Amino acid sequence: MSSILAFDLGASSGRALLGRLTDGKIEVEELHRFPNDPVQAGDRLYWDILRLYHEIKQGLLKAKHRGIDLQSMGIDSWAVDFGFIGKNGELAGNPYHYRDRHTEEAMERVMAEIPAGVIFARTGIQFLPFNTIYQLYALKQAKSPVLQEGSRLLMIPDLLRYFLTGEMHNEFTNATTTQLYNPVTDDWDPELLRLLDLPRSWFGNVLKPGELAGRLQPSVCEELGVASIPVYAVAEHDTGSAVAAVPATEKSFAYLSCGTWSLMGTEVDKPVLHELAQKLNFTNEGGFGNTFRLLKNIMGLWILQECRREWEREGRSYSFPELVQLASNAKPLATFIDPDDDLFLPPGDMPARIAEYCRRTNQAEPDGVGEIVRCILESLALKYRYVFEMTERLSGQSFGGLHMVGGGIQNTLLCQWTANAIGKPVWAGPSEGSAIGNLAVQWIAQGAFADIWEARKAIRESFPVETYEPSDSELWVGAYKRFRTLTGLSD
Ligand code: ADP
Ligand code: LRH
């Protein structure tokens, strides 16, 4: 029996999942879970990177205390963020959170220097204001001291792996999210680096998911009193790991990775680089086995997380199940927001911003917690329909339903409303998609599964998948028309 460990760091929490494989059946156990709260210090919003590293060590210690003989481990996390390792081998500065305001206007400025069409043709990546490319531009403009000759840029899992192994590598799936990686030449794009005056030496060799990235270094083994275990590069972008874990049977399928973000799309063999993909602002993020995720970011449950944080600040604490219960009692299909309006990207008072959006669009403001939560969840479900249709249009496929994975599937109302909105079944599971995809890639690397399809079959047979059949079709078709008009979303 092989025991391996997956660390999955989401924007709201992190966990260490122990995976065991017996006769093709996967069992998982959550060894460790920890919050991932960003830290505001002065004007800046940071990740608490050393705390995250500490939590990874805690996970390893818990495995040791349980007497588990680990064969390997892997780390995945949210994308686009990074740290620099200076010439002295130390972390230079503390990584910024992608929601920090330092990138304000950076995307527009870069696009004034390099046409958007050139950037898209060279990377296939959607235009999000916090992509690594714009963060680097903003740091350069600010003459940040972290940018130095001879430094190395490491994405978040690259950085944590470096602390563990002492080896510096960039991993493919996360590298693509920088919007500086060319999926056709399969390398950092020299032209974009030249145009932005970013030294090639900052960017290292790129490992594909499934390649060995090193072993726990002696100092770490000594500190923790553990044996040196192999550390694999997995699909280190959490969305890449989540999609690897989709328990699909069909080659072409639609998915929604539902957590802090909602990521909806399909898996393709080659990046889709034509004009319509750029116009619809779809992305082609690198995946396991040289696949690409043709998908679009939707703001997701972040808006609900921020409402919850705001209510907590006011002294009202609600669990997610309580919020879902309150929403289920509120008036249906009353008010809508476009979750992807710029208003909702930065942290802050989301209930007030939802009210502002409603005033702007001549709608009555939702009154009370239940109505606000209902507005968020129904608007998400309707936005899912919009992106589902765009995914079908772009890929030329018609999907029989939607696979949902991620922590958000514990919200059964959202799953049901998503089925209602798209008018097709939703298959929900597993909820720990990213961590399970992380485990699957380690097992493929070790030969325990022949390929991703064998791994997906094992996932299908090892974890429950809940089916939600669509209902109330007429109501939702009417609501979708209103939603499209109110939000101004065009074809
Ligand atoms: P991330 O990995 O991005 O941090 P997760 O995949 O862990 O996010 O999903 C977190 C989201 O899942 C929360 O924002 C919340 O909306 C939802 N969620 C978690 N637990 C529950 C629950 N018990 N009931 C309903 N929703 C839940
Ligand atoms: C989801 C995610 C998403 C990125 C965002 C920064 O956790 O990795 O795929 O766009 O975080």
User: What is the pLDDT, as a whole number, of residue 2?
Assistant: 81
Separation between Cα atoms, residue 34 and residue 37, nearest integer Å? 9
Nearest Cα residue to 161 out of 38, 53, 33: 53
pLDDT value of position 441: 98
Q: Are 336 and 382 in contact (CB under 8 A)?
A: yes
Same domain, 228 and 241: no
156 part of a folded domain: yes
- Of the ligands numbered here, which is closest to the C-alpha atom of 156? 2
Clarify whether residues 73 and 194 are in a common domain.
Answer: yes
Residue labelled with tokens 């092989």: 2
Considering the domain boundaries, does residue 42 fall inside one? yes
Ligand 1 closest atom vs CA 408: 12
Q: Give me the pLDDT at residue 65, please.
A: 97
Q: Which atom of ligand 1 is nearest to the CA of 12?
A: 4
Q: Which residues contact 234 (CB under 8 A, 6 or more apart)?
A: 6, 74, 75, 76, 171, 209, 210, 241, 437, 438, 441, 442
pLDDT at 61: 98
DSSP 472: -
**Residue 432 has which token pair?**
């720990």
**Same domain assignment for residues 273 and 164:** no
How far apart, in whole angstroms, are the C-alpha atoms of residue 454 and residue 332? 42
Residue 445 lies in a domain: no
The verdict on residue 447 lying in a domain is: no
Residues 25, 96, single domain; the answer is: yes
Domain end, chosen from 221, 236, 251, is at 236
Q: How far is the CA of 80 from the centre of ligand 2 (A)?
A: 7
Ligand 2 pocket test, candidate residues 7, 13, 78, 97, most atoms within 8 A of CB: 78
Q: In this predicted structure, what is the pLDDT of residue 1? A: 67
Query: Ligand 1 within 6 A of 328 CB?
Result: no
For residues 104 and 26, state if they share a domain: yes
Give the pLDDT score at 150. Answer: 87
Residue 390 near residue 365, CB atoms below 8 Å: no
Whose atoms come closest to the Cα of 309: which ligand? 1
pTM: predicted TM-score of the whole model, two decimal places: 0.98
The reported pLDDT for the residue numbered 382 is 98
Whether 453 is in a domain gets the answer: no
Supply angle C-alpha 281, 284, 287, rounded to 5: 150
Tokens of 29: 């156990």
From atom 2 of ligand 1, which residue's Cα is the shortest distance away?
10
Both 265 and 157 in one domain: the answer is no
Which residue's alpha carbon is at the smallest distance from atom 2 of ligand 2? Answer: 78
Among the candidates 180, 201, 236, a domain finishes at: 236
Which residues have CB under 6 Å of ligand 2? 10-11, 78-80, 98, 237-239, 260-261, 263, 297
Q: What is the mean pLDDT of the chain?
A: 97
Same domain, 222 and 328: no
Number of domains present in the structure of the chain: 2
Which of 202, 236, 270 is the last residue before a domain boundary? 236
Ligand 1: which atom is nearest the Cα of residue 8? Answer: 2
Summarised one tens digit per residue, pLDDT across range 59-104 is 999 999 999 999 999 999 999 999 999 999 999 999 999 999 999 9
Ligand 1 centroid–CA 407 distance in Å is 4
Supply the pLDDT for residue 358.
98
Q: Helix or strand or coil: residue 22?
A: strand
The answer to whether 124 touches 271, Cβ cutoff 8 Å, is yes
Same-domain check for residues 314 and 298: yes
Six token digits for residue 149:
């000759």
* H/E segment holding residue 268: strand 262-268
Q: Which ligand is nearest to the CA of 433?
A: 1
| Ligand 1 centre distance from Cα of residue 259 (Å) | 6
The whole-angstrom separation of Cα 481 and Cα 26 is 43
Using an 8 Å Cβ cutoff, are 431 and 4 in contact?
Answer: no
Shortest-distance Cα residue to atom 8 of ligand 2: 78
- 261 and 172 within one domain: no
Residue 485 burial (C-beta neighbours within 10 Å; 0-12, 13-18, 19+): exposed
- Does the residue 434 lie in any domain? no
Q: Please tell me if the CB atom of residue 259 comes closer than 6 angstroms to any atom of ligand 1.
A: yes
Which domain, by its residues, includes 182?
A: 2-236
Q: How far from chain centre, in Å, is Cα 279?
A: 22
CA-proximal residue: ligand 2, atom 4 (nearest): 79
User: Is 324 a pocket residue for ligand 1 (Cβ < 6 Å)?
Assistant: yes
Cα(329) to centroid(ligand 1), Å: 20
Pairing of strands 13-22, 2-9: antiparallel
Pick from 8, 12, 412 the residue to mutate for probing ligand 1's pocket: most ligand atoms within 8 Å of its CB. Answer: 12
**Spatial contact of 38 and 48, defined as CB atoms under 8 Å apart:** yes
Using the atom order of ligand 2, give the atom closest to the CA of residue 238. 8
Q: Which two tokens stand for residue 317?
A: 């604490």
Give the helix/strand (H/E) hosting 3.
Answer: strand 2-9
Q: What is the ipTM of this complex?
A: 0.99
- The response to whether residue 397 sits with its C-beta less than 6 Å from ligand 1 reads no
Q: Which of 8, 100, 158, 238 is catalytic?
A: 238
| Position in ligand 1 atom list of the atom nearest CA 78 | 3
Active site residue 238: yes
Tokens 């999955």 belong to residue? 8
Tell me how far the alpha carbon of residue 321 lies from the centroid of ligand 1, in angstroms: 10
- How many angstroms does the Cα of residue 258 sit away from the middle of ligand 1? 8
For residue 66, CA distances in Å to 18, 59, 429 come to 11, 11, 28
Give the DSSP H or E segment for 438.
helix 433-445
Residues 231 and 268 in one domain: no
Residues 299, 196 within the same domain: no
Among 97, 239, 281, 299, which is best to mutate for testing ligand 2, by the most ligand atoms less than 8 A from CB?
A: 239
230 three-state secondary structure: strand
List pLDDT tens digits, range 29-47: 999 999 999 999 999 999 9
- Reference 433, options 413, 405, 458; nearest CA is 405
Looking at the chain, the whole-number percentage of residues with pLDDT higher than 90 is: 99
Residue 97 lies inside a defined structural domain of this protein:
yes
Ligand located closest to 430 CA: 1
pLDDT in tens, 444-465: 999 999 999 999 999 999 999 9
Residue 38 CA, ligand 2 centroid: distance in Å: 15
Q: Which atom of ligand 2 is nearest to the CA of 10?
A: 7
Helices and strands, counts by H and E, the chain:
18, 22
pLDDT digits (tens, 9 = 90+) for 339-361: 999 999 999 999 999 999 999 99
Q: Is the CB of 35 under 6 A from ligand 1?
A: no
Retrieve residue 80's tokens.
């686009």
**Ligand 1 midpoint to CA 235 (Å):** 21
Which residues of the chain register pLDDT less than 50?
none
Q: At what angle do helices 106-113 and 116-123 cross, to 10 degrees?
A: 90
Pairing assessment for the beta strands 466-468 and 426-428 based on DSSP bridges: antiparallel
Same domain, 211 and 244: no
Q: Is residue 450 in some structural domain?
A: no
- Ligand 1: nearest atom to the Cα of 258: 6
CA–centroid distance, 417 to ligand 2, in Å, is 23
Q: What is the CATH number of the domain that holds 280?
A: 3.30.420.40
